[in-house]
């Protein structure tokens, strides 16, 4: 599933094309892509046509396009799921395999464009959602100064790259939890945007075993972990995200290359880049953890 870097790459690609763009038409080709929009395809098409997109915003793994001149404020929210893609195309381009929804735009600078929501496995979706004020009065996410988030995102914590992320609250949250530190990192109500890949990479960098109880970590180790989380996410962003197959692409269909920089995730049996001993893979929360048992000892 796409994590913060992959979704941010999509957001940054959409931003110049959608900001101040008029929605001239919407075509829902597969109603399964509207599982979170209860009113159905006809309502989605009618509700969006004629509206203007304000910006492209992201919090953690969640992406939304706020709409202007509405009360209450609304937004198109996108859940990419396992294989969802938001792609930019020229207006009138041919229908593509697994295309579920097409949104036609008229941009004041770039002219006519199309956004395609393509999803092979149909776990992703789009929806029209109401925006609500943020609890801390800070901007809802990266990409817009508006202090609001969609209702479907309101329970999600800020991500570690958000200027409004509260480091002290994060340290207190870990101190209150007996769960394995990796489980806490994956909890989107504690810190959003971190998934299996970047949790493994940050824990490797911080020399922490993924099963270490969070409440046993001294403050200095939590501070280092948070620093490594940020470093891993920033590096992945600089390299366009992690692409293991054709599902993880930017708005132009190009893959990221952070997979070549991975130290632990997806490398079972290969030598640890730090000590040379084999990386191991173990079952964890219906997925897997990759770590070095020599560098990341469970104390």
Check which CATH number belongs to the domain holding 216 and give it. 1.10.8.50
Question: For residue 102, what pLDDT is reported?
Answer: 97
Question: For residue 132, what pLDDT is reported?
Answer: 95
- 31 with 66, same domain: the answer is yes
Q: Is residue 297 in a domain?
A: no
Question: For residue 242, what pLDDT is reported?
Answer: 54
Residue where a domain stops, chosen among 122, 153, 184: 153
Residue where a domain stops, chosen among 131, 153, 175: 153
Q: Is the dihedral of CA 144, 147, 153, 159 positive or negative?
A: positive
**What is the C-alpha to C-alpha distance for residues 129 and 64, in angstroms, rounded to an integer?**
9
Q: Is residue 135 in a domain?
A: yes
Q: Which domain holds residue 185?
A: 167-291
- 180 with 280, same domain: the answer is yes
Tokens of 126: 């789009």
Q: Which residues contact 51 (CB under 8 A, 6 or more apart)?
A: 22, 23, 67, 68, 69, 70
Q: Is residue 140 in a domain?
A: yes
**What is the C-alpha to C-alpha distance for residues 8 and 142, in angstroms, rounded to an integer?**
9
Q: Is residue 298 in a domain?
A: no
- All residue ranges of the chain with pLDDT < 70 are 1, 70-72, 240-260
- 139 with 257, same domain: the answer is no
**What is the C-alpha to C-alpha distance for residues 7 and 134, in angstroms, rounded to an integer?**
21
When divided into structural domains, the chain yields a total of: 2
Q: Is residue 238 in a domain?
A: yes
Q: Is residue 159 in a domain?
A: no
- 127 with 181, same domain: the answer is no
290 is in an annotated binding site: no
CATH of the domain at 15: 3.20.190.10
Question: What are the φ and ψ backbone dihedral angles of 220, each rounded to 5 degrees?
Answer: -65, -35
121 is in an annotated binding site: yes
pTM exceeds cut of 0.75: yes
168 is in an annotated binding site: no
- 10 with 144, same domain: the answer is yes
Using alpha carbons, list the distances in angstroms from residue 42 to 26, 47, 110, 117, 226. Answer: 10, 8, 28, 17, 45
Residue 67: CB atoms within 10 Å: 20
Q: Is residue 31 in a domain?
A: yes
- 147 with 22, same domain: the answer is yes
Active site residues: 2-3, 61, 287
- 8 with 124, same domain: the answer is yes
Q: Is residue 95 in a domain?
A: yes
- 8 with 148, same domain: the answer is yes
**What is the C-alpha to C-alpha distance for residues 78 and 83, in angstroms, rounded to an integer?**
12
- 143 with 171, same domain: the answer is no
- Three-state DSSP at 78 gives strand
Tokens of 119: 């999803």
Q: What is the 3-state secondary structure (H, E, C) of 53-77?
A: ECCCEEECCEEEEEECCCCCCEEEE
- 60 with 102, same domain: the answer is yes
Tens-place pLDDT, residues 1-60: 678 888 898 899 999 999 999 999 999 999 999 999 989 999 999 999 999 999 999 999
- 110 with 142, same domain: the answer is yes
Q: Which residues contact 11 (CB under 8 A, 6 or more apart)?
A: 56, 57, 58, 63, 142, 143
Question: For residue 212, what pLDDT is reported?
Answer: 97
- 135 with 177, same domain: the answer is no
Residue where a domain stops, chosen among 153, 177, 212: 153
Tell how far CA 250 is from the center of its chain: 12
């Amino acid at each position: 599933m796409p994590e913060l870097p992959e979704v941010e790459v999509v957001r940054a690609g959409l931003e110049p094309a959608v900001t101040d763009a008029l929605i001239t038409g919407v075509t829902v080709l597969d109603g399964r892509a509207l599982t979170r929009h209860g009113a159905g395809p006809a309502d989605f098409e009618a509700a969006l046509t004629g509206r203007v997109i304000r910006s492209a915003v992201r919090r953690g793994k969640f992406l939304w396009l706020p709409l202007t001149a509405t009360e209450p404020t609304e937004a198109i929210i996108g859940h990419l799921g396992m294989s969802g893609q938001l792609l930019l195309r020229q207006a009138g381009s041919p229908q593509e395999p697994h295309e579920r929804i097409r949104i036609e735009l008229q941009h004041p600078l770039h002219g006519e464009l199309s956004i395609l929501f393509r999803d092979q496995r149909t776990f992703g979706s789009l929806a029209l959602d109401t925006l609500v004020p943020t609890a801390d009065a800070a901007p809802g996410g990266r990409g817009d100064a508006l202090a609001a988030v969609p209702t479907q995102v309101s329970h999600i914590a800020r991500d570690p790259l958000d200027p409004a992320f509260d480091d002290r609250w994060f340290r207190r949250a870990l101190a209150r939890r007996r769960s394995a530190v990796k489980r806490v990192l994956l909890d989107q109500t504690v810190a959003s945007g971190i998934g299996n890949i970047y949790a493994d990479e940050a824990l490797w960098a911080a020399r922490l075993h993924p099963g270490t109880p969070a409440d046993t970590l001294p403050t200095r180790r939590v501070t280092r972990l948070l620093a490594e989380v940020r470093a891993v996410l920033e590096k992945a962003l600089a390299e366009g995200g992690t692409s293991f197959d054709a599902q993880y692409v930017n708005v132009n269909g190009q893959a990221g290359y952070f997979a070549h920089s991975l130290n632990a995730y997806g490398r079972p049996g290969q030598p640890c880049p730090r000590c040379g001993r084999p990386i191991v893979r173990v079952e964890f929360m219906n997925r897997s953890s990759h770590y070095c048992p020599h560098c990341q000892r469970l104390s």
